Structure 1
């Protein structure tokens, strides 16, 4: 959700093309949903979610920065819990428009919706990111690549009702996000332009722990960014989330209202 407006160098563009090709190859060779044929048709489940989030991009020095976000996700139009996510990373700007980083992530997921998991899930991650920002005409374009090492554990309840975690299952996942944003005509708020946003993020599971499929998830969203101050912006987005659930031979096609408070600190 965060955009670096500095112009991008030519070299990272080549890196972006190479990494995009890698993601497409991973989609082609990743594990499939199942090797056995089944006559049961796949179903589509539609659910309504509400996600609230805050994103922080705070420079530490001229090259180092902290990226972090906290997200509170609800299902059934906000009535029931879905996920709580906390994430933080440190990035280094190699050249204008090109930054690398690493961080940690913790996700607590509750059984939710029409295809609930058997137990609550805890997902602890160490991840690596590469982010490329470019200016194409009047549009700011961001490409972000993320590679996640994941330790997944179920929440178990003993006879006394105390919670504990199962043994962790290790999994790998790659993600690619493409985002574009530009001012919406002459619309302004507090003398600053309102921006239009469109983005898509593809998740590729690299082990059978990730639902046993190659494409683990896809998120497409669009909306508007409303300036609040020179460092803060409120994004109001409509997100369409697609998740295949192979164990149930069904797909989630979730409609989500995503509200994000962004803070982009001043460069030092």
Structure 2
């Protein structure tokens, strides 16, 4: 009882300071709300039983369609470790335009190398995909021909649920959800170690073994380098997945 009493006294002494800090943090935080549209293509193309290539293009628009936000091209080499695990080494180019109430000084480029592991599985009818990604990023300046080097780690968990039957087959709809968290690390990270979080829900349709379409909503919370501005981006996502098997095994 004596120890419990001391703990309660300590909590009472610390409470004003904790509430003051929380209030100050809330006061310092600035929210920037945006409506965006992301229109995307993804392809994993099998060349042999073990090797393949990844192709990807994304057109990201501010105010759904009217204004530019980002343009992204990404490619990579896939290696199938097992039937359920795939490693990818790749490169991405991203061009970002000023948008929102706290825009960048101008458009700027980014060159990115990434290493990725995808692991697939299922729990009864629910398909699961874990994606682990490390990124080495060279971000250009809008004002000068200089680059800043940053590191980032990402983890995504995606689940899919067939709406007809127990598996997602051709000409059938399904539901998809995912959450992905981004963490920055390294010497040049400022106050945004937490980089962003993406929460997503969609309805999908599998046309055939190669083509799948998803139409969904993405809630993106992104912390800018200052650490005080948080973007709350409500985003329409249209995603086409088109995977070609050049081995002819399917």
Question: What TM-score does the superposition give when structure 2 sets the normalisation length?
Answer: 0.82
Q: 2:44 aligns with which of 57, 73, 88?
A: 57
Native 8 Å contact 1:172 1:206 kept in 2 = yes
Structure 2 residues without counterparts, runs of 5 or longer: 1-23
Structure 1 residues without counterparts, runs of 5 or longer: 1-36, 157-164
Q: Determine the structure 1 residue equivalent to 2:58.
A: 71
Q: Determine the structure 2 residue equivalent to 1:28.
A: none
Q: Determine the structure 1 residue equivalent to 2:19.
A: none
Q: Which has the higher contact order (CA 8 A, sep 6+)?
A: 1
Q: Determine the structure 2 residue equivalent to 1:96.
A: 83
Q: Determine the structure 2 residue equivalent to 1:175.
A: 154
Which structure would you say has the larger Rg? 2
Structure 1 residues 77 and 211: alpha-carbon distance in aligned structure 2, compared to 1, 3 A threshold: farther
Shift of residue 120, structure 1, vs aligned partner: 1.7
Question: What TM-score does the superposition give when structure 1 sets the normalisation length?
Answer: 0.77
Q: Determine the structure 1 residue equivalent to 2:223.
A: 244
Q: How does 1:1-268 map to 2 (within 5 A)?
A: 40-156=27-143, 166-185=145-164, 192-207=171-186, 209-210=188-189, 212-247=191-226, 249-266=228-245, 268=247
Deviates more, 1:112-121 or 1:81-90: 112-121
Shift of residue 199, structure 1, vs aligned partner: 0.4
Native 8 Å contact 1:115 1:248 kept in 2 = no
Structure 1 residues 248 and 126: alpha-carbon distance in aligned structure 2, compared to 1, 3 A threshold: closer
Aligned length: 224
Residue deviations 1:231-264 (CA, integer Å, cap 9, x gap): 1111101000001125372211110000011102
RMSD: 2.4
